[in-house]
Amino acid sequence: MKKISLLLIGLIAMVFSTQIKAQETQELEDLNYFKYVVIPIQYQFQSEENEFLINSLTKHLFNEENFTTYMDVESKPKDLTFNRCLALFAEVKSESESFFSLNTRLELILKDCNNKVIFKSEGRSKLKDYKEAYHDALKDAFTPLQSFNYEYNGKNSYDSSKFEEEEQKSPIQKEPKKETKSFEETVKEKLIGTYSLFNEEYSISKIEAGYILTNTATAEKKAFINVTSNNSLLFNSDTINGTLVINDDGDLEVEYFNNASGKVEKATLYRVE
């Protein structure tokens, strides 16, 4: 009788485990219906924008898994502007902010435009340093995505003809910039110019959505710089997503998460003129 009970328990556990795996697989497959991931510049548990570079790291980790990402403060492509349902909206929740907690637990959530949860994952870390713990837990939360080959399948595509009609009827109304004029002028004056990095020359110029960093010799666009509503600067390229600070010498210091080393590092573009 005891053996039969144990066998029955084992079968129930096996069926339950299979159902959970099937649900997780379906959640991952559903990600292919979405073209973009939008990441907020500040999560609810943070006291300031991009605190501990958690938001920049979120963007970086999604990019590593072949998702097309935008921070919510960045200029968006036209199809996403007219149809926000093309995107998933990322949230990160912290469940353990006490210093005396045994570990740090973060929850990564992806919701659609109707606020429905499409994907959810949890990450943990036993590190005590806040910054290192948050980064470690966030990377852990991305583990399920690492074994999933995301590829947008186009089944959530936007009707281009409708887009053209809407664009003619109602052009995009630009939201007024939240930065004060004096701050914009200061940033523009300090950013625009020529810089040197690893014996290569780069130039920064103003564009409608922010600023662009270009290789002077090849004219190749290397990075975009955006001003946030909190008057901070975001630096985004194919390999680096972080924050930018203009030091007293006019040099640009970029702080970012290095996925190869697993650490937060800095790179400096030195002002030439």
Domain boundaries in the chain? 2-169, 181-271
Specify burial of residue 66 (Cβ count, 10 A radius: 0-12, 13-18, 19+).
exposed
Specify burial of residue 62 (Cβ count, 10 A radius: 0-12, 13-18, 19+).
buried
Mean pLDDT of all residues in 24-42: 87
Query: At 44, which amino acid appears?
Result: Q
pTM score: 0.66
Choose which CATH entry (3.90.930, 2.60.40, 3.30.70, 3.40.50) describes domain 2-169: 3.40.50
Specify burial of residue 177 (Cβ count, 10 A radius: 0-12, 13-18, 19+).
exposed
Count other Cβ atoms within 10 Å, centred on residue 53: 19
DSSP bridge partners of 88: 37
Query: At 36, which amino acid appears?
Result: Y
CA 147-148-152 angle, 5° bins? 160
Please tell me the predicted confidence (pLDDT) of residue 4. 59
pLDDT digits (tens, 9 = 90+) for 123-165: 999 998 889 999 999 999 999 999 899 999 887 644 343 444 4
Q: Is-contact 54 134, C-beta < 8 A? A: yes
Phi, psi of 89 (to 5 degrees): -115, 120
Q: Is the pLDDT score of 10 beyond 60?
A: no
CA distance 264 to 85: 33
Q: Could you say which architecture CATH assigns to the domain 181-271?
A: Beta Barrel (2.40)
Helix (H), strand (E) at residue 22: helix 2-30
Please tell me the predicted confidence (pLDDT) of residue 2. 54
Residue 210 Rama label (left phi>0; alpha psi -120 to 50; beta): left
Q: Is the pLDDT score of 111 beyond 60?
A: yes
User: 90, 144, 87, 96: which is closest to 121 by C-alpha?
Assistant: 144
Percent of the chain exceeding pLDDT 90 equals 48
Phi, psi of 32 (to 5 degrees): -70, -15
pLDDT digits (tens, 9 = 90+) for 219-247: 999 998 988 767 788 898 888 888 999 99
In the chain the beta strands, taken as DSSP E runs, fall at 36-39, 68-71, 87-94, 104-111, 117-125, 193-197, 200-207, 210-215, 221-227, 233-237, 241-246, 252-258, 263-271
The Cα diameter of the chain in Å comes to: 85
